[in-house]
Amino acid sequence: MTTSRFEGSATIPFLIRHAAEKFPDREFIITPSRQITFGDTELQSRRLAQHLLRSGIGKGSRVGILFPQGPDFVVAFLAITRIGAIAVPLSTFLKAPELRQAVRHADIGLLIAPRTLLGSDTEEMFESLWPELGSAADADLELGDAPYLRQIWVCGGAAPRWAVGLPDVAELGDEPASADELLLAVEAQIVPSDLMVFVYTSGATAEPKVVVHTQGGQIRHAWTLAQIYGLDHDARTFTNMPFFWVGGLTVVVLSHLHVGAAVITVERMDSTEMLDLIEATRPKRVLGWTLYERLSADPSFPHRDLGGIEFPIPDLLAAGLRHNSLGMSETGGPHTGVVVATNKVDLPEKLRGSFGPPLAGIHHKIVDLATGQEVEAGVEGQICVRGDNLMDGLYKKDRHDTFDADGWYHTGDKGFFSDGLLFFTGRLTEMIKTGGANVAPREVELAVESLPGVKAAFVVGIPDPERGELVSCLVCPEPGHDIDAASLSAALRDQIASYKIPRKIVVVPYDDAPWLPSGKVSKPRIVELLTNARA
């Protein structure tokens, strides 16, 4: 695929200053309660960056951000990365045990969060994560469960004694001229190979999986995406993609930052609020996993004034009538696809099911599932990727455990190439893909098995026309215990993120599970059982 080449330094300092100079008064991030321009974004992120530098944060520092998608997230992300620190966006879906694990695993040294998060008090949440905070004398932290975490910054409202209080990000005051000079000197040392962001995604096991991306890799990839989406400064996109994953961060925010386009979003996945905002702001396109299904199910949808707004039609992609695209966190989003403007007519029969050609700067090979040798066109095998947008690695994983000797990443996806197009045929691992999010079955199994009265749990994905797959669970109780599926779901809400909670639960005696002669359960049989069962 050919797109125009990105001109300029592939770094956040260049990108944010360029956007502010070229599109200072154009809207960048729009929510129901707040809007910021590109000029606002540069100014606010500059002030926060100067505050970070004054506090000793610099290149390589790991800074966690816990904000919902919106202006504050974007300002914090840009402030951190324009000084060469590594942003660690933390999912607002995480429950307390998951959040505590992420902060520890990523070796976060500074955590920035609002005083209230989606209506909940963060002081209470953090003290439940780390009870030692209750007896802390000041904001210089020493926590055994988070040994690298030295400070928590709380934005907006009074801060507890164990945190550093800041006003809202938009209200940080001007810094002296010397602070501008220092920031310019720091930004001059940022290079495309610098690490930019840790992205949490689910691995095939219950262990955390953190994708590490560089500034250059993601900024160049975001430029490519802006070209295939046909973005320019008049583009306006509504999305429900969370900014803490690559779908919201690279595919939406960074691509729109390149060209001065507006991003319209909401903090909560409320269909009525989303439709209200879409009507009021008139985006040119709507982008998000299961977004069309969610919006069209709203009772008010048929009566909305949505003329001229381009909605994705999932039925066309599901039927293979139009080119789809394939992507993952490790590649910063799509690694195949076609220019959107050309994807308006049904494909000929032999091309149906296509996931498009490789994007610019990306290379693929298909290898035999058994031998690992490259196969010919038309032969199914494992999809391997290499190129500009590929991650730098997985945090706390050796390079030889992540890439092969030639630098290829083996994706765990199956497929084949024909006529230069990729055809995706399934996953090699047990990973569940639900509504655009990855769920590791073993992580959910461990959460279910930790509940009283549960002897064993077996989690699988079952096909679903709207979400792709539904997280589903076969539960075996301890002898003499009765398990109610609704109560089990309720108990999991404090343990794991809502998208990981099984939507379908079937309870059977342990001996009635589909055991194989080897002593293992048959996962295909469980999929069949849960698919056919009422729960």
Q: How confident is the model at residue 6 (pLDDT cuts 50, 70, 90)?
A: confident
pLDDT greater than 90 at residue 522: no
Write out the DSSP string of 74-107. Answer: HHHHHHHHHTTPEEEE--TT--HHHHHHHHHHTT
Cβ proximity of 168 and 159 under 8 Å: no
Burial of 135 (0-12, 13-18, 19+ CB in 10 A): exposed
Average pLDDT over residues 472-496: 91
**How many angstroms separate the CA atoms of 281 and 274, rounded?**
11
Least confident of 390-404, 410-424, 513-527: 513-527
Q: Which of 185, 214, 243 is the last residue of a domain?
A: 214
pLDDT greater than 80 at residue 524: yes
pLDDT greater than 90 at residue 62: yes
In a domain, 96, yes or no: yes
Least confident of 177-191, 251-265, 299-313, 365-379: 299-313
Q: How confident is the model at residue 142 (pLDDT cuts 50, 70, 90)?
A: very high
Write down the pLDDT at residue 534. Answer: 66
pLDDT greater than 50 at residue 119: yes
- Reported as a single tens digit per residue, the pLDDT across 267-311 is 988 999 999 999 999 999 999 877 888 898 899 999 999 988 888
HSE-up of 470 (CA within 13 Å, CB side)?
A: 17
Write down the pLDDT at residue 139. Answer: 93
Write down the pLDDT at residue 518. Answer: 55
Residue 74's domain is classified under what CATH number? Answer: 3.40.50.980
In a domain, 305, yes or no: no
Q: How confident is the model at residue 312 (pLDDT cuts 50, 70, 90)?
A: confident
* Residue % of the chain over a pLDDT of 90: 70
Listed residue (66, 63, 89) closest to 150, CA to CA: 63
Average pLDDT over residues 363-370: 94
Q: Which amino acid is at 193?
A: S
Structure tokens at 246: 């690559």
Is the pLDDT higher at 311 or at 330? 330
Q: How far is CA 483 from CA 392, 443, 449, 514, 530, in A?
A: 45, 20, 12, 19, 17
Residue 479's domain is classified under what CATH number? Answer: 3.30.300.30
Write down the pLDDT at residue 344. Answer: 87
pLDDT greater than 90 at residue 212: yes
In a domain, 229, yes or no: no
Write down the pLDDT at residue 202. Answer: 61
In a domain, 373, yes or no: no
Write down the pLDDT at residue 205. Answer: 47
- Reported as a single tens digit per residue, the pLDDT across 193-210 is 999 999 998 654 456 789
First CA to last CA across the chain, in angstroms?
46
Q: Which of 162, 188, 214 is the last residue of a domain?
A: 214
Write down the pLDDT at residue 523. Answer: 83
pLDDT greater than 70 at residue 521: yes
Q: How confident is the model at residue 517 (pLDDT cuts 50, 70, 90)?
A: low
Write down the pLDDT at residue 204. Answer: 45
Q: Which amino acid is at 468?
A: G
**Secondary-structure breakdown of the chain: helix, strand, coil percentages, each rounded to the nearest 5:** 35, 25, 45
Write down the pLDDT at residue 351. Answer: 93
Q: How confident is the model at residue 238 (pLDDT cuts 50, 70, 90)?
A: very high
Average pLDDT over residues 516-526: 76
151-155 sheet: strands from edge to edge = 164-166, 151-155, 110-114, 62-65, 86-89, 195-202, 208-214, 393-394
**How many angstroms separate the CA atoms of 504 and 502, rounded?**
5
Q: Which of 214, 237, 268 is the last residue of a domain?
A: 214
**How many angstroms separate the CA atoms of 294 and 232, rounded?**
27
Global confidence as pTM: 0.86
In a domain, 385, yes or no: no
Q: Which amino acid is at 278?
A: I
Q: How far is CA 299 from CA 208, 295, 312, in A?
A: 39, 9, 19
For the CA atoms of 336, 342, 348, 350, the dihedral, rounded to the nearest 10 degrees, stands at -20
Average pLDDT over residues 312-328: 81
In a domain, 42, yes or no: yes
| Structural domain boundaries, residue 110 | 36-214
In a domain, 148, yes or no: yes
pLDDT greater than 60 at residue 83: yes
Write down the pLDDT at residue 178. Answer: 84
Average pLDDT over residues 474-485: 90
Read off the DSSP letter of residue 309.
Answer: -
Domain total for the chain?
A: 2
- Max Cα distance, the chain (Å): 74
236-239 sheet: strands from edge to edge = 35-37, 27-30, 262-264, 236-239, 285-287
Q: How confident is the model at residue 146 (pLDDT cuts 50, 70, 90)?
A: very high
Number of H helices and E strands in the chain, helices first, is: 15, 26
Write out the DSSP string of 190-227. Answer: --TTSEEEEEEEE-SSSSEEEEEEEHHHHHHHHHHHHH
Residue 532 makes CB contacts below 8 A (sequence gap 6+) with none
In a domain, 470, yes or no: yes
Structure tokens at 452: 């009283």
pLDDT greater than 80 at residue 5: no
HSE-up of 241 (CA within 13 Å, CB side)?
A: 20
Mean pLDDT of the chain: 91
* Beta strand residue intervals within 204-321, DSSP E: 208-214, 236-239, 262-264, 285-287
Q: How confident is the model at residue 109 (pLDDT cuts 50, 70, 90)?
A: very high
